[in-house]
Amino acid sequence: MAEKEYKIAQTPIAGIELRVLKEFNPKIPTAVIRSFVRKAKPYAGADFKIAKEKELQERLKPEMIEYAQAMPGLRGIRSVPENWDLLLIEKTKEPTYNRILLRESLGETLYPELVSEELIVTVIAPQGKVTAEDFRQNLHHLFEKAGIPTKDIQKLFKIESRLNVDSEKLNQLITEGRIALQPGTITEQAPTWAIKVDLVRKPQKETRVKDADKTA
Give the pLDDT score at 2: 66
The answer on 175 and 112 residing in a single domain is yes
Residue 110 CA to residue 112 CA, distance in Å, equals 6
Is residue 170 a part of any domain in this protein?
yes
Give the pLDDT score at 136: 54
Is residue 132 a part of any domain in this protein?
yes
The answer on 103 and 41 residing in a single domain is no
The answer on 119 and 46 residing in a single domain is no
pLDDT band at residue 216 under the 50/70/90 scheme: very low
Helix (H) or strand (E) holding 37: helix 30-70
Is residue 94 a part of any domain in this protein?
no
Is residue 200 a part of any domain in this protein?
no
The answer on 103 and 52 residing in a single domain is no
Residue 136's domain comprises 99-183
Greater model confidence, 193 or 95: 193
Is residue 201 a part of any domain in this protein?
no
pLDDT band at residue 176 under the 50/70/90 scheme: very high
Q: What is the pTM of this model?
A: 0.55
Greater model confidence, 133 or 171: 171
Is residue 85 a part of any domain in this protein?
no
- Measuring CA to CA, which residue among 178, 130, 189, 195 is closest to residue 156? 130
HSE, side-chain direction, 13 A CA sphere, residue 56: 6
Greater model confidence, 156 or 34: 34
- Measuring CA to CA, which residue among 185, 37, 198 is closest to residue 106? 185
Is residue 212 a part of any domain in this protein?
no
Write out pLDDT tens, residues 56-68.
Answer: 999 999 999 999 9
The answer on 178 and 109 residing in a single domain is yes
Write out pLDDT tens, residues 17-37.
Answer: 999 999 999 999 999 999 999
The answer on 119 and 53 residing in a single domain is no
Is residue 82 a part of any domain in this protein?
no
Give the pLDDT score at 132: 55
The answer on 51 and 112 residing in a single domain is no
Give per-residue burial for 6-24: e unless 16+ CB within 10 Å, then b: eeeeeeeeeeeeeeeeeee
The answer on 179 and 120 residing in a single domain is yes
By percentage, how much of the chain surpasses pLDDT 90? 51
The answer on 163 and 112 residing in a single domain is yes
The answer on 49 and 103 residing in a single domain is no
Greater model confidence, 160 or 108: 108
By percentage, how much of the chain surpasses pLDDT 70? 81
Give per-residue burial for 64-84: e unless 16+ CB within 10 Å, then b: bbeebeeeeeeeeeeeeeeee
In this structure, what DSSP letter does residue 72 have?
T
The answer on 173 and 114 residing in a single domain is yes
Q: What's the chain's average pLDDT?
A: 85
In this structure, what DSSP letter does residue 196 have?
E
How many residues are listed for the chain in this entry?
216
Give burial (CB, 10 Å; 0-12/13-18/19+) of 165.
buried
Total tally of structural domains belonging to the chain = 2
